[in-house]
Structure 1
Amino acid sequence: MNSSLLHSLFRVFGLTLFALVLLSPVLVQWPEQDFVPYLQWKLIAAVWCYLLVLSLFRSLWPALVLLLPAAVLVPQEVFYLLTYQKNTDAHVIAIVAETDLSEALGYLTGVGVFLALAVLAILLLWWYLVRSAWQRHWRWEAGVRPVVWLIGSGVLASLGWNEWQYQQINKAKQRSNPEENVFMQRPLPYSYEKFHATYPLNMLLALNEFAKQKQAVADVADSTALFKFSAKQTEVPQARQIYVLVIGETLRPDRLQLNGYNRATTPRLAGIKNVISFTDMVSPWAWTRMSVPVIISRKSPVDQRYFPTESSLVAAFKEAGFSTAWLSTQSPLGVHDSSIALHASEADQLQYLNPVGYKQEGFYDEILLPAVELVLKQNHARQLIVLHTLGSHFSYADRYPEAFDLFTPSGKGQAISMHNKKSKVLLNNAYDNSVAYTDFILFTLIKQLEQTQSISTLFYVSDHGENIFDGQCDKSGHGHNTERDYRVASLLWTSDEYNQLYPQKKALAEQRRQQPLMTSSIFHSLLDLADIQYPDQRLSRSWVNSEWRVSPRLLQQGLDFDKAKRVGVCQELKAPE
């Protein structure tokens, strides 16, 4: 076999292998059905994308150089797809951009060596192809590139037409609430809707979406940057102080064993002293993006604005001399998270630890535990730690490991619709398992705090409640304006050291465990709990203060929770007649 033929074979083999490498993120998504959309919007789109890059130059080597980033990122993308069944998106980009790199890459634990070897192999193949293309003058045959450009022009024209139609349909939504356009009503471009799962186009789209959302967050943050509470501790204890706020997700108070539930959902917390369960806590909103800002800031329950006008308790604690940390298994950006991310960014330390957010199974909340341990080991004299958990977010069975699959059948590992009433038993069992797992998380956090022998508290509150086909009710999920949408689980633990220093605050908290409370008082109560003062402090809103007074519990639409009528088997709230 002569050398020319041998080189031709090597060229064909090398380019074919390189093409398979580049296409592997699309090939691993090979569908069991719906083949036509896959072919149209994934495989053919990816092939055309690569051909377009290759056709930019008559010689192949410059185009191969341009394809290097896509080639190097292939192992990560394939791993992500096989592990989490989703493509890289703005969420992943934000985690890498906003979190300490060692933490951001934590989801690669155990496979880092294999990924490194895969990248090395790809680099060797790429180097061989570039070197050969340079030395042997690999070129396009005459007349082929214009054909690629002609096809490409037709594709781009088709996309442009569809993009125009798509935007026309959504203009009304954009006009209805300008403040929310960027995250809630601004439609993603047609190209994103079609190519978000097409490698490498998804990477470019994710970077673009991340940049837009970050800029929107930054623009809003600028408007609150100069806001000050003038908060301080007038008498600073000599002992170390640690205050922990755990923001839960979708946890109802009636599913806690502590509150009389007939299942062992909180056996660990039931065995700890100094735990107070507030049995009548209400959230004014049934959506995370609106309920969490009410918890952590002075935002009014009836304020319909998406973005804040002032800082949160994180900033207030910082003003008072506390080191602050925000650790989250929720998402750093997006429709449900950007209003929260604004407040999270006020912290000295910010870490997003879940590579997939709430959409897939991803990491469980226990990934927060070692992160908390590291923050505690920093040994600051005064610390505030905020944890934003996934808790009992649907899919409930995705929120806990196999060891907590206590109540069965739960449907763990299966695709179950939350809207199928036939799955009622599975959904309720899985939900209770997620509550038992939250019990483990909170128990472990308390044990971590006990070991510090500090003046410390842990306050837990869920963002909103949930419907799970209760009784004869045919509703599941939240946002149905039922009583179960708004009732939330809430707990307070205080250390012995705290109780010795602030016995009255502990006693008042005990007295009010069954009082009608609301999450809009948490900002005021937590600052008071830490004995932090500021000029326009509203002590009548703090349930650990003697000035606290019961006030109307107004929900998002202005309806009084306690005076509203309960209608039907779902207990939907209506204005009294």
Structure 2
Amino acid sequence: MDRKRWAVAPATLVVAACTWLATVGNLALWSELHALGALNGPADWLLAAALAAISGALLVALSSLFAWRGVLKPWLVFLLVAAGIGLHYMLAYHVVIDSTMMVNVAQTDPREVGGLVGWDLLFTLAWSALLPAWLVARAPLGPWPGWRRQAVRNALLAGAALAACAAFLLAQFQPLAGTMRNHKQLRYLLNPLNSLYALAELGTRPLRNPIGPMEPLGRDAQVAGTREKPPMLVLVLGETARSGNFSVNGYARETTPQVAREDIASWRNAWSCGTSTAASLPCMFSHLGRTAFDARRADSENLLDVLQHAGLAVLWVDNQAGCKGLCKRIPNVATTFEKDPVLCAGGECLDAIMLQGLEARVKALPAERRARGVVLVLHQMGSHGPAYSKRSPPEYKRWLPECTSINLQDCGRQDVVNAYDNTIAYTDHVLASTIRWLKAQPAYETAMVYVSDHGESLGENNLYLHGMPYSIAPDVQKRVPWITWLSPAFQARTGITTECLRKRAGEPVSHDHYFHSVLGLMQVQTSAYDGARDAYAPCRAAP
């Protein structure tokens, strides 16, 4: 074949690749518009065409910056592959892509990657990205001019693309504005512009909102009063647990029978700080609350630091993807890759592994700190999806059939719910086992607080998993369980009774209360404590 005869101009290759991206790459956008009833007539089709044209024109303008010898093809291949990956997950789980989702991707551990990568991804990549990427790589380009002439051509291409973008925007401004205003999720489906914007937003965030040096917090902390026995508080951090799927919160299925037999109180109106672990954990361990945390100009020490400043023994035990930097200044241990033949038989460890050898781990903490009190943090794998079936052992699979596919849309919705509810039944076992373990610690006055980091979508409105932008996320991704167990001795110590907490079960609480509530339970006195945000304070008996 005469490659010179069939050679294409760089601008032609750019326009062809960006047209593919703006049309085929945006199948998730067209699917969402169809689901919203916005593709039902000529006016709607014009709107969709304008969206495709605007998306394509912006991609052409951006790609003109990379239209140079040795750079153009790798750039276009990158765009195609990024769009193919984004397309798969937006179609498979109806997630959207923003900066928070990009942080989740960056912090995903190998076990979670294994639960998200399958043949469906490879198939989608093959037809949506790899085939056009191969054509781009093989396309013969004509001779490149000198850099000055190429710079002029690139500028003309960018100018023409931006002019076309402006023309389509003006022609369809009213319907576009109304659609985007009423359906904010659409802006996060423009592929791959959504991924590029999210990466740019993350990359420029330090310039727009610089985070200063770590600020000290609670250096004046001390434990109030003395008793014969020190307190021991276990903070169980749930993962992806929906409040509405706990039978102690009114769910029709008996998902939490073991915990229900204990003397517990459960808030039914508890709300998360974010819709992902990366967003929620740093926020809930901060003293600031969600709004102030998002607007902060400097990071500060967190709840664990303040507890340690008070002289308490603190330990983080992790069976998940890490502590998001919260535990780097305190003792911590990971159980992720333990070799227990029963609890770790499936290639990952079930959450009960965190209780194995826990007493020995406590005894290894400094004795002078243990004498003041102990705070243990157990970070669960919990109900992390989409591989829900891996999060519960056979004896806790009470509802069958359950979905075993990582592509949740391959399963009937009830099978997805079955698999998820089985994870809650296993979490119920882990929590009850933790309470039994605490009851067997005669040297301490014990308590447990269980709070999840965020919730989960299980197919409602064809939406799965979590991580939606907080402003448009459904309540099931933000409403979380908050369960408290206080031993009789701990109730006597603090003056907080379970009976009082039960009477307040319907009152709203949130992660904004978490920092101050834990300090209050441990009777830590510090200027960082805000009694108005201590969720347990209304039940604390007057001294």
Please give the range of the TM-score, normalised by the shorter of the 2 chains. 0.5 to 0.7
Output one character per residue of 1:288-337: Cα deviation in whole Å (capped at 9) or x when no partner: 101111221213312336997111111111111111100111123xxxxx
Mapped to 1, the partners of 2:332 and 2:445 lie a distance apart of 23
What SS is found at the alignment partner of 2:412? helix
Q: Is 1:397 matched up with 2:389?
A: yes
1:385 Cα deviation from its structure 2 partner: 0.4
Q: Is 1:466 matched up with 2:456?
A: yes
Q: Is 1:341 matched up with 2:330?
A: no
User: Structure 1 344/423 Cα, relative in aligned 2: closer, same or farther at 3 Å?
Assistant: farther
Mapped to 2, the partners of 1:519 and 1:543 lie a distance apart of 10
What SS is found at the alignment partner of 1:346? coil
Q: Is 1:363 matched up with 2:328?
A: no
1:176 Cα deviation from its structure 2 partner: 2.6
For 1:493-504, what aligned pairs fall within 5 Å after superposition? 493-504=485-496
Q: Is 1:372 matched up with 2:358?
A: yes
Q: Is 1:545 matched up with 2:531?
A: no
Normalized against structure 2, the TM-score is what?
A: 0.56
Amino acid paired to 1:368:
M
For 1:78-93, what aligned pairs fall within 5 Å after superposition? none
* Contact map agreement 1:245 1:385 (CA 8 A) in 2: yes
Q: Which runs of 5+ in 1 are unaligned?
A: 1-88, 93-168, 183-218, 333-339, 549-577
Q: Which residue of 1 aligns with 2:333?
A: 351
- How many residues get paired? 331
For 1:108-127, what aligned pairs fall within 5 Å after superposition? none
What SS is found at the alignment partner of 2:254? coil
Q: Which residue of 1 aligns with 2:375?
A: 384
Amino acid paired to 1:362:
E
Which of 497, 508, 523 is the aligned partner of 1:516?
508
Output one character per residue of 1:265-292: Cα deviation in whole Å (capped at 9) or x when no partner: 111111112x111111011311110111
Output one character per residue of 1:496-548: Cα deviation in whole Å (capped at 9) or x when no partner: 11112223465553332210111110110110011111124210111211399
Output one character per residue of 1:144-172: Cα deviation in whole Å (capped at 9) or x when no partner: xxxxxxxxxxxxxxxxxxxxxxxxx9986
Which of 459, 474, 497 is the aligned partner of 1:482?
474
* Contact map agreement 1:508 1:543 (CA 8 A) in 2: no
Mapped to 1, the partners of 2:535 and 2:108 lie a distance apart of 40
* Contact map agreement 1:299 1:308 (CA 8 A) in 2: no
Which of 283, 293, 311 is the aligned partner of 2:282?
293
Output one character per residue of 1:44-92: Cα deviation in whole Å (capped at 9) or x when no partner: xxxxxxxxxxxxxxxxxxxxxxxxxxxxxxxxxxxxxxxxxxxxx9968
What SS is found at the alignment partner of 2:299? coil
User: Structure 1 226/313 Cα, relative in aligned 2: closer, same or farther at 3 Å?
Assistant: closer
What SS is found at the alignment partner of 2:315? strand
Which of 518, 533, 537 is the aligned partner of 1:526?
518
For 1:42-57, what aligned pairs fall within 5 Å after superposition? none
Q: Which residue of 2 aligns with 1:309?
A: 299
User: Structure 1 230/268 Cα, relative in aligned 2: closer, same or farther at 3 Å?
Assistant: same
* Contact map agreement 2:217 2:302 (CA 8 A) in 1: no
Mapped to 2, the partners of 1:517 and 1:173 lie a distance apart of 31
What SS is found at the alignment partner of 1:299? coil
Mapped to 1, the partners of 2:427 and 2:398 lie a distance apart of 13
Mapped to 1, the partners of 2:318 and 2:296 lie a distance apart of 20
Q: Is 1:279 matched up with 2:261?
A: no
Q: CA RMSD in A?
A: 3.1
Amino acid paired to 1:389:
Q
Which of 258, 275, 287 is the aligned partner of 1:268?
258
Which of 440, 448, 453 is the aligned partner of 2:429?
440
Output one character per residue of 1:339-384: Cα deviation in whole Å (capped at 9) or x when no partner: x43211122x21122149xxx9611111111142323444732111
What SS is found at the alignment partner of 1:341? coil
* Contact map agreement 1:361 1:399 (CA 8 A) in 2: no
* Contact map agreement 1:416 1:423 (CA 8 A) in 2: no
Once the two structures are aligned, what percentage of the paired residues are identical? 23
Mapped to 2, the partners of 1:445 and 1:361 lie a distance apart of 23
User: Structure 1 305/175 Cα, relative in aligned 2: closer, same or farther at 3 Å?
Assistant: farther
For 1:398-417, what aligned pairs fall within 5 Å after superposition? 398-411=390-403, 414-417=404-407
Q: Which residue of 2 aligns with 1:116?
A: none
User: Structure 1 467/173 Cα, relative in aligned 2: closer, same or farther at 3 Å?
Assistant: closer
Mapped to 2, the partners of 1:262 and 1:278 lie a distance apart of 17
What SS is found at the alignment partner of 1:458? strand
Comparing 169-178 with 319-328, which one deviates more in the overlay? 169-178
1:180 Cα deviation from its structure 2 partner: 6.1
Mapped to 1, the partners of 2:253 and 2:438 lie a distance apart of 27
Mapped to 2, the partners of 1:90 and 1:537 lie a distance apart of 33
For 1:9-28, what aligned pairs fall within 5 Å after superposition? none
For 1:217-232, what aligned pairs fall within 5 Å after superposition? 223-224=213-214, 226-232=216-222
Q: Which residue of 2 aligns with 1:427?
A: 416
What SS is found at the alignment partner of 2:376? strand
* Contact map agreement 1:418 1:477 (CA 8 A) in 2: no
Q: Is 1:325 matched up with 2:311?
A: no
What SS is found at the alignment partner of 2:484? strand
For 1:94-113, what aligned pairs fall within 5 Å after superposition? none
What SS is found at the alignment partner of 1:375? helix
Q: Which runs of 5+ in 2 are unaligned?
A: 1-106, 111-193, 339-345
